[in-house]
Amino acid sequence: MVYFVATPIGNLGEITGRAVETLKNVSAIFCEDTRHSKVLLEHYGISKSLYSYHKFNEKKSLDFVLAFAQRGEDIAVISDAGMPCINDPGNILVNALKEHHLPYTVISGPSAFVNAFVLSGYQPPFTYYGFLPDKKGDRDKLLDGSVGVAIFYLSVHDIKENMAYLCERLGDRECCLVKELSKSHEKIRFCHLSDIIEDDKGEFVLVVNAQKQENPLCSLSVEEHIAYYVSGGMSKSDAIKAVAKDRNVSKNEIYKLTLNDR
C-alpha cells in the first residue's frame, strides 16, 4: 500500500495519530527534503529509510517508487508541509498507481488553503488556483470564468506583482492574506488587492472574496448592462467604464466579454 500522508503546515503537534502510526509502520518514506522531514520524524521517534521525492526528480524516480509497491511493501509519501499532490509532488505517482492497479490511500490532515479559507470567513463556493503561472496569457486562461472566492499561494518575491495583476484582472476585491499558519506568530490580514504588502520572507495564502454585486443592474447580463447605459445617452466606451465600476472589475475585462459574445 502507498500512503499519501499529510504533515503539519507549521505546528508539529498538528498531525493525526493515524498519520504517526502509518509513518512508524511503513518500510520507507519518500519526502521532498529529507533534512526537513527528519525534524518531524525525530520529533515523533520515527526512524525509517528516507528517499528524496520532489518536483525535480518525481518522473525520474517513478519506477523506483513503483517497485516498492509492486513488491507489496507499504510506503509513505509526504511533502515538506501539508497534503501531497496539492502544489507538491504526488499526482504523477497517483496516476501511475491507478494505471498499474496498485493500492493507495490518503491519510487525512492539514492543507494550508483550507485553513486560510476558514480564517477568511468568506462563503463558498471557492476555487483553489495555487501559484499563478509566470506568463500573463496562461494566467488569463486560468482565471477565465472565475466566480466565487478565489484562493492562491503567493511567495514573498511575487506578492506585489501577483496582487497587482489580480486587482487588474478581478477588480479591487476584499481579501484575506495569511502566513505562518498554525504557528504561534500566525498572521492574518484583511485588505484589498490594491494594497501594497511590505514583507520580506515567507509564503502566503491569499483568499480573495467573491465579487459583490449589490447594484441591481449587476443581475443583468453584461450586454444588457451596457445597453442600459447606452439607452440613457452614454457612448459605448463610457457605458463599458460604468459597467466595470458597477461590477468592480477592470474595463478591459468587460470589453473582453463583449468581444466573446459576438
pLDDT digits (tens, 9 = 90+) for 13-37: 999 999 999 999 999 999 999 999 9
Q: Is 80 exceeded by the pLDDT of residue 258?
A: no
Please report the domains of the chain, with CATH numbers, ordered by start residue: 2-110 (3.40.1010.10), 113-208 (3.30.950.10), 216-260 (no CATH)
Instruction: Classify 30 as helix, strand or coil.
Output: strand
Residue-wise pLDDT tens digits, 150-184: 999 999 999 999 999 999 999 899 999 999 999 88
More confident residue, 230 or 189: 189
User: What is the C-alpha to C-alpha distance for residues 28 and 47, in angstroms, rounded to an integer?
Assistant: 9
Work out the burial of residue 158: count CB atoms within 10 Å of its CB; fewer than 13 is exposed, 13-18 middle, 19 or more buried. Answer: middle
Q: What is the grid cell recorded at 29?
A: 518514506
pLDDT band at residue 213 using 50, 70 and 90 as cut-offs: low
The reported pLDDT for the residue numbered 83 is 94
The reported pLDDT for the residue numbered 260 is 61
The reported pLDDT for the residue numbered 23 is 97
pLDDT band at residue 216 using 50, 70 and 90 as cut-offs: confident
Residue-wise pLDDT tens digits, 95-109: 999 999 999 999 999
User: What is the C-alpha to C-alpha distance for residues 186 and 217, in angstroms, rounded to an integer?
Assistant: 40
Q: Is 60 exceeded by the pLDDT of residue 262?
A: no
Residue-wise pLDDT tens digits, 125-147: 899 999 999 999 999 999 987 87
The reported pLDDT for the residue numbered 94 is 96
Residue that the C-alpha cell 486560510 belongs to: 116
Work out the burial of residue 109: count CB atoms within 10 Å of its CB; fewer than 13 is exposed, 13-18 middle, 19 or more buried. Answer: buried
Contact 167, 195 (CB under 8 A): no
Contact 171, 250 (CB under 8 A): yes
User: What is the C-alpha to C-alpha distance for residues 23 and 5, in angstroms, rounded to an integer?
Assistant: 8
Give the number of other CB atoms < 10 A from CB of residue 12.
Answer: 12
pLDDT band at residue 201 using 50, 70 and 90 as cut-offs: confident
- Write the CA distances from 85 to 102, 140, 182, integer angstroms: 18, 23, 20
The share of the chain scoring above pLDDT 90, in percent, equals: 67
